[in-house]
Amino acid sequence: MSDLPAAGSVKVVVSAALSDRFEKRYVIVDAATGDVVDDAQGYGYKTAQNAHRAHAYTSMPPKKKRRRDAAQRQVRRWCAAHPEFMQHVKQSMFYALKDGLNLTEADVRAMADEHGVELPFSVKDLMQRWNW
């Protein structure tokens, strides 16, 4: 079991000790006791959003972590098994970025259809989890 409080029992506050006149720093505190739960190794978080994001990541249930990691492994294995398709995706991404455009899900889906490749997951998962 995690020693971090549940997500609803914490709040993000501005730390007077870590902030200066020009830059606010945020820490995560236990809502009931006021004890500091996370202070980014003594530096504080630059934004409240980053503090919330860090707490959500560190307090994620193990089952959800395993699911996320399994999806990541599945995408990487599939990419390793289909190098010619992934090379085409890389090349298309390079030319799109060179022209100031983005490679969209529809573009990748069209390339998959062109190559006759069936993805065992969504195109969105491929684009999120593959290391571009």
> Residue 2: inside a domain, yes or no?
no
Decide if pLDDT at 129 tops 70: yes
For the chain, give the DSSP string.
--SSPPGGGEEEEE-TTT--SS---EEEEETTT--EEE-TTTT-BSSHHHHHHHHHHHT--HHHHHHHHHHHHHHHHHHHH-HHHHHHHHHHHHHHHHTT----HHHHHHHHHHHT---SS-HHHHHHHS--
- 87 and 124: one domain? yes
Which has more confidence, 63 or 2?
63
**Res 3: pLDDT:** 60
- 91 and 108: one domain? yes
> Residue 78: inside a domain, yes or no?
yes
> Mean pLDDT throughout 91-113?
95
- 125 and 78: one domain? yes
pTM exceeds 0.75, yes or no: no
